Structure 1
């Protein structure tokens, strides 16, 4: 039990405090934003599973009633392999800390989802007020694309069921038809990949645990990488140059090419589209994907290792 708790705690601390800084300094995420998003998700899942496994083991050692439920289906030999009677004195404090963290995480996720639902509802009400009236006889459902009368060039994706793409007449007037296709492909890339869920998760964790570097980096990198991934979706369909020109056309009034700040995100996106970086070779891409996918299994393996070792010995 002591070894398992120590390993789980050590892995969680390493993944939460050390790995994020290494990952943010790497250059390959800009070349493979979809893969980078997966790596970040697996890293966060590994930390959360470490905490959950440590919580279950600690609670089983501290609370006899909880132990009876967790090990109800285990054999006496399997239960004895965890040596729940010989636990270090800090187990109770660690268990209470992890239980508080789990409750706080759940509360933060619930609050973020409730706030997102409220914001989405208000935006839809605002859109209905701004949307032009339909001629009599036409169906009330406008479909997935909504055009707003507004000289300000803009386009965005509104999550929901169903998701809706919104574009202003200012954007339609400023962009060519191919550039409009690129903008819509970009927004559809967000919708199809369900990027809103990633953004909600990263926001909830970073807000709930502001002192944890992993969650702060996860939020910042998620906001950046989802845009790069959507840019790649648009460029595969409409071309890199068309997508870059569409991005400039929508954002030139915001200073997309300004050098006043050191490489802002819009500037980085335009430069990346104009000079597409080479992708990782298939071998490295497959190895990174496999390593990230297997990482969340490590805390589960540590949690069940005593039972597995007991079975091997007998």
Structure 2
């Protein structure tokens, strides 16, 4: 039972201590893509602890399953895990972990369905306001990038400058006529690059998983922190992509123009838009990226968490073999 208890304790440690330290770190603002990797590795490590603990608990509770799991294993490996004779503890642990797994699956399914329904309604709304012309009429007018990626630029009649992306099999990059009138050509290109980054990096998938975990387990801090951090980091990552292609100043000016009419630069901006001034300040500050060696160390550190979980689970087996 040592491996099972170690996995449960490791999962608890990762879920309680690591999120706070990662959220307080200063480097994610300079390397948002790497920070996204770190958060995903942390969440994967916690989920791995739960899944491997569930497997061991089920093996302890069900002798038939235990025999199947250790069928063909070297002599002494089953004894090394100490699962025999722990049926009562195994049943209780397996029931709790199975309930958590079921709750995760239900929350993820609900979130995916809700996101699909919302995207469907948004696409229908766009089709009503800006119907697509027949393919034979638009084939010659679509750019090479649009044909290769399946992205389609949609222009809506609206005096307010706005731009957003709608992911899907044929992604839509939506801008309003107000944005076309207010933004310069370079600023408009920066805005489209920002939205295109969201689509190509599949940020909506990451956001859906984070929202499902946070909704399914409202009392687990690592999942709520993951959702909050993902919402900020994907915007910083998209800002960086636009800045690399069109310049930090141009991207910052475009961000100001898009958000100026929404009150986000006032004394009491709406909560969900309050990060816009910070993003502008970050772009204007122009802090350099971390060195390659520093990024490599952080990448390896991020991968330590899931790798460590696997090693803890395999430690008794390795000890029995060696």
Q: What range is the shorter-chain TM-score in? A: over 0.9
* Contact 1:248/1:256 (<8 A) preserved: no
1:305 aligns to what? Answer: 315
**Alpha-carbon shift at residue 150 of structure 1 (Å):** 1.7
1:189 aligned residue (197, 202, 208)? 197
1:294 aligns to what? Answer: 304
* Contact 1:42/1:293 (<8 A) preserved: yes
Which sits farther off after the overlay, 88-97 or 34-43? 88-97
Distance 1:22 1:15 in 2: 10
1:77 aligns to what? Answer: 76
1:6 aligns to what? Answer: 5
* Contact 2:112/2:208 (<8 A) preserved: yes
Distance 1:240 1:200 in 2: 29
Query: What SS does the aligned partner of 1:304 have?
Result: helix
Query: What SS does the aligned partner of 2:86 have?
Result: coil
1:246 aligned residue (245, 251, 254)? 254
**Alpha-carbon shift at residue 139 of structure 1 (Å):** 4.4
**Alpha-carbon shift at residue 55 of structure 1 (Å):** 0.5
1:279 aligned residue (272, 289, 296)? 289
1:116 aligns to what? Answer: 115
1:229 aligns to what? Answer: 237
* Contact 1:199/1:219 (<8 A) preserved: yes
Question: Within the alignment, does 1:161 sit opposite 2:187 as a pair?
Answer: no
Moved beyond 4 Å, runs of 4+? 139-143
Pair 1:180–1:24, CA change in 2 (3 A):
same
Give ranges in structure 1 of 5+ residues lacking alignment: none
Pair 1:134–1:36, CA change in 2 (3 A):
same
Distance 2:15 2:117 in 1: 31
Map 1:87-236 → 2, pairs under 5 A: 87=86, 90-131=89-130, 134=133, 138-139=137-138, 144-236=152-244
Map Cα deviations across residues 97-142 of structure 1 (whole Å, 9 max, x no partner). 1110011101111111111111111110000001057489614997
**Alpha-carbon shift at residue 3 of structure 1 (Å):** 1.5
**Alpha-carbon shift at residue 36 of structure 1 (Å):** 0.5
TM norm structure 2? 0.91
Pair 1:133–1:201, CA change in 2 (3 A):
closer
1:50 aligns to what? Answer: 49
**Alpha-carbon shift at residue 91 of structure 1 (Å):** 3.2
Query: What SS does the aligned partner of 1:231 have?
Result: helix
* Contact 2:160/2:178 (<8 A) preserved: yes
Pair 1:134–1:291, CA change in 2 (3 A):
same
Distance 1:133 1:17 in 2: 50
Give ranges in structure 2 of 5+ residues lacking alignment: 147-151
**Alpha-carbon shift at residue 183 of structure 1 (Å):** 0.2
Q: RMSD of the alignment, in Å?
A: 2.1
* Contact 2:38/2:299 (<8 A) preserved: yes
* Contact 2:2/2:82 (<8 A) preserved: no
Question: Within the alignment, does 1:67 sit opposite 2:66 as a pair?
Answer: yes
Distance 2:12 2:135 in 1: 62
**Alpha-carbon shift at residue 288 of structure 1 (Å):** 0.9
Map Cα deviations across residues 64-114 of structure 1 (whole Å, 9 max, x no partner). 232233223424432232222143853322211111001110111111111
**Alpha-carbon shift at residue 184 of structure 1 (Å):** 0.5
TM norm structure 1? 0.93
Which sits farther off after the overlay, 271-280 or 213-222? 271-280
Question: Within the alignment, does 1:257 sit opposite 2:261 as a pair?
Answer: no
**Alpha-carbon shift at residue 4 of structure 1 (Å):** 0.9
1:268 aligns to what? Answer: 278
* Contact 2:57/2:94 (<8 A) preserved: yes
Distance 1:136 1:208 in 2: 43
